[in-house]
Structure 1
């Protein structure tokens, strides 16, 4: 039995855009934010996170999550977005995934009652990410 999920992909580079495309191709409802310079077919472009994030089952943030001084890493966005504002818009209890998450973001997630996982700290990713590096040497 196929189960589709409602997911939000927020910020990032072409890897995030590609992820959104793959998730959509798998039949999931995908909403995107801060990816305006890379339109993604059949995905809903969000403009108001507070109004459009309720109802998503998971939010996928980029790796790294932060750019510069507390901004969302979003090189494909038309404007900068404070990362704190993004975190504050995610409904409490929502599974939130991100890579290379700084301590202050973890603290904000706890404060906002988000279930935040840093996928870069997962053994599976760390090991698979190290293989190309070792082979290149």
Structure 2
């Protein structure tokens, strides 16, 4: 089978060490890769740091943003503090009209802008090939945070996990292996049954009032407001909350502050605690996903 190659180049915008590995991987299928707002790049043929956004986007068939995408204001995280990258109407006047925009997640209003320009958006954060292995460094980073922020061991600690998806499952098994007493709160009866089968204490999500009072540490993985002010009022200032959900998280952080509860929105843990591993996950899987998406675009024409 012939190696898949792009007709034009790739722009890799923003990011951290993970995106460096992605940029290197894309050299295998693109004639050139331009970067902007990304530091720590090796000196390689066809890997070209751009001076500005116009130069980075010119001629790019594929544009790759970090897994975090852009925030509500359209700002993209960069490792170069001197560079600001913003996804806005001006951005879409610079990007090629038939380009593929690849990112982990993207706000709906920016997807609408992309659609109006004819730009296809490929979101990969929930793709199993990336999300499942990415859950491991997230779980390890959450446990590291717990160890740093608490005066006691994981062994014997009462840990409450909200949700029972990929990250929650990876976290629960590791906490249990370290001797923690693990409780899982979920809305889905099947998830609760699975949690009980694995040796965790199951609690329906609408019965959190008692569960939060019995926990030392609460880990949230649900991307919706679940730890409300009334629930936080039941907790102690000695409690620790680690929110692993995507921004803005699932905690009323203002209320947590009023009740003097330490609540941490722990975003981007894979890139912080295991950037090489997390980068390899992306570098291994993104080229194939991009190839599939471009094939679909070609078939639609």
* TM-score (normalizing by structure 2): 0.40
Does the residue aligned with 1:8 lie in a helix, a strand or coil?
Answer: strand
Give me the whole-angstrom Cα distance separating, in 2, the residues matched to 1:75 and 1:51: 19
Higher-Rg member (1/2): 2
Give the match for residue 34 of structure 1: 37
Contact 1:49/1:90 (<8 A) preserved: no
Moved segments of 4+, more than 4 Å: none
- String of CA shifts for 1:68-101, please: whole Å, max 9, x gaps: 7321121335222222244442111111101121
Q: Does 1:8 align with 2:29?
A: no
Alpha-carbon distance change, 18 to 10 in structure 1, aligned in 2, over 3 angstroms: same
Give me the whole-angstrom Cα distance separating, in 2, the residues matched to 1:115 and 1:27: 19
Q: Does 1:54 align with 2:58?
A: yes
Give me the whole-angstrom Cα distance separating, in 1, the residues matched to 2:36 and 2:130: 24
Q: Does 1:136 align with 2:174?
A: yes
Name structure 2 gaps, 5 residues minimum. 140-169, 176-301
Structure with a larger share of its residues in helix: 2
Q: RMSD in angstroms over aligned alpha carbons? A: 2.4
Alpha-carbon distance change, 121 to 105 in structure 1, aligned in 2, over 3 angstroms: farther
Contact 1:92/1:114 (<8 A) preserved: yes
Give the match for residue 103 of structure 2: 98
Equivalent pairs counted in the alignment come to: 135
1:72-83 equivalent positions in 2, closer than 5 A = 72-83=76-87
Does the residue aligned with 2:67 lie in a helix, a strand or coil?
Answer: coil
Give me the whole-angstrom Cα distance separating, in 2, the residues matched to 1:116 and 1:77: 26
Q: Bigger CA drift: 70-79 or 88-97? A: 70-79
Give the match for residue 18 of structure 1: 21
Name structure 1 gaps, 5 residues minimum. none
Give me the whole-angstrom Cα distance separating, in 1, the residues matched to 2:85 and 2:11: 16
Does the residue aligned with 1:58 lie in a helix, a strand or coil?
Answer: strand
Higher RCO, 1 vs 2 (CA within 8 Å, ≥6 residues apart): 1
Offset at residue 7 of structure 1 (A): 1.4
Offset at residue 120 of structure 1 (A): 0.9
Q: Bigger CA drift: 121-130 or 73-82? A: 121-130
Give me the whole-angstrom Cα distance separating, in 1, the residues matched to 2:101 and 2:119: 7
Give me the whole-angstrom Cα distance separating, in 2, the residues matched to 1:83 and 1:99: 15
Alpha-carbon distance change, 68 to 106 in structure 1, aligned in 2, over 3 angstroms: closer
Alpha-carbon distance change, 89 to 7 in structure 1, aligned in 2, over 3 angstroms: same
